Amino acid sequence: MDRYVIERELPGAGDLSEQELHDISAKSNEVLAGMNDVEWVESYVSDDKLYCVYDAADPALIAEHAERGGFPCDRISPVRTTISPATGR
């Protein structure tokens, strides 16, 4: 499987309550339970966007997950490589 970063426009995302984040996560897990070859790794919440990291055999599976769950899916970008502070040492 390849890794992807998904950008999701969600105005007010940074103000979502713990319960709202729980509910979004639970819905995502529910949809993923019925799918193969796609896994949610983690997400980052900013003021008006979610940046989600997924592993998937095909980016179309990520779009399908978003459609089934009713989630925005504005951009799916393949991760080509990762860097960290250790890269520069």
Residue 40: closest CA among 86, 73, 11: 73
The pair of three-digit structure tokens given for residue 81, joined into one six-digit string? 């490589």
What's the confidence (pLDDT) of residue 34? 95
Residue with tokens 């490589």: 81
Residues in the chain: 89
CATH number at residue 75: 3.30.70.3090
Residue 10 · residue 65 · CB < 8 Å: no
Residue 54, domain extent? 2-83
Residue 24 lies in a domain: yes
Residue 88 lies in a domain: no
Residue 35 lies in a domain: yes
Per-residue pLDDT of the chain (89 residues; tens, 9 = 90+): 999 999 999 999 999 999 999 999 999 999 999 999 999 999 999 999 999 999 999 999 999 999 999 999 999 999 999 999 999 99
Residue 89 lies in a domain: no
- Number of domain units in the chain: 1
58 DSSP 8-state letter: -
